[in-house]
Amino acid sequence: MAVNAKRPEIIALSRDLRGIPQCDDYERMISGMMYNPNTPKLLEARHHCRGLTADYTNMDTKSIRYDQVFEKRLEMLRKLCGKVGDGSFIEPPFMPDYGCNIIIGESCFINWNVTILDTSLVVIGDRVQIGTGVSLLTAGHDTSILSRQKFVEFGHPIFIEDDCWIGANVIVLPGVRIGKGSTIGAGSIVTKDIPPFSVAVGAPCRVKKTIQSAEEEEQDPNNQYRNLVRSH
């Protein structure tokens, strides 16, 4: 459901993002209030995103060396998204809505055909991996028919904390926070918050078990990964 007031903490988080269409409608939109998506500034922002998305998807990889693709894509991604950390990569096609409302941490990998409807903020932590066909959807609509006739909607932020793995074709709905170190099984529909260090699957997604933190794994002499060297 929509909220009745702006969320100062979400607005503050947006302040240093690249290319946000700063206005009252934007602040209402990212806060989860009812707003009209077809105001000129918001239309212009989505139009700008479509152009940058097309450039990203259609980058001519034949004209550059294979070992230059990563840096070139990161450069383009930083023009498309609000903020992107070092070492992060998205395989095209990538389908954002505004782009500027997306925050991606360091050393993330996002595979093909990921859709991010960033009506509100989508905040992805460090070392997050996201499989093919995933949809991160901050946009919401009321069940009221009149709200659709008035063409208003709302959006609630999504947070995916550090070291998460989101399996293929997962759908994450508005307002969800996925806790640090969690795994979401392929095809799940995440409707509610997932606690840290959880393995969760299903539609709706439910926690099936909890796992060790990375620090606990490092201290476990039987852990098969503790002596591996990081690949990149």
Residue range 81-92, pLDDT digits in tens: 999 999 999 999
Of 47, 48, 141, 156, the catalytic one is 141
Mean pLDDT check: name the lowest of 30-39, 92-101, 144-153.
Answer: 144-153
Residue found under tokens 């969690």:
182
Q: How far apart are CA 131 and CA 55, in angstroms?
A: 22
Tallying the residues shown for the chain, one arrives at 232
Full-model pTM: 0.94
Q: Is the pLDDT of residue 231 over 80?
A: no
Give residue-wise pLDDT tens across range 155-181. Answer: 999 999 999 999 999 999 999 999 999
Determine the distance from the C-alpha atom of residue 219 to the mean position of all C-alpha atoms in its chain, rounded to a whole number. Answer: 32
Asked if 185 and 167 count as a contact pair (C-beta separation under 8 A), the reply is yes
- Establish if 51 belongs to a structural domain: yes
Q: Residue 30: name the closest of 39, 18, 21 by CA.
A: 21
pLDDT in tens, 185-223: 999 999 999 999 999 999 999 999 998 888 888 888 888
Instruction: Please provide residue 69's backbone torsions phi and psi, each rounded to the nearest 5 degrees.
Output: -65, -45
Q: Kindly report the CATH number assigned to the domain that includes residue 141.
A: 2.160.10.10
Active-site residue 141, yes or no?
Answer: yes
> Does 231 map to a domain?
no
* Number of domains into which the chain is organized: 1
For 214, the domain range is 8-218
Burial class (CB in 10 A: 0-12, 13-18, 19+), 222: exposed
What pLDDT, on a 0 to 100 scale, did the predictor assign at position 69?
Answer: 92
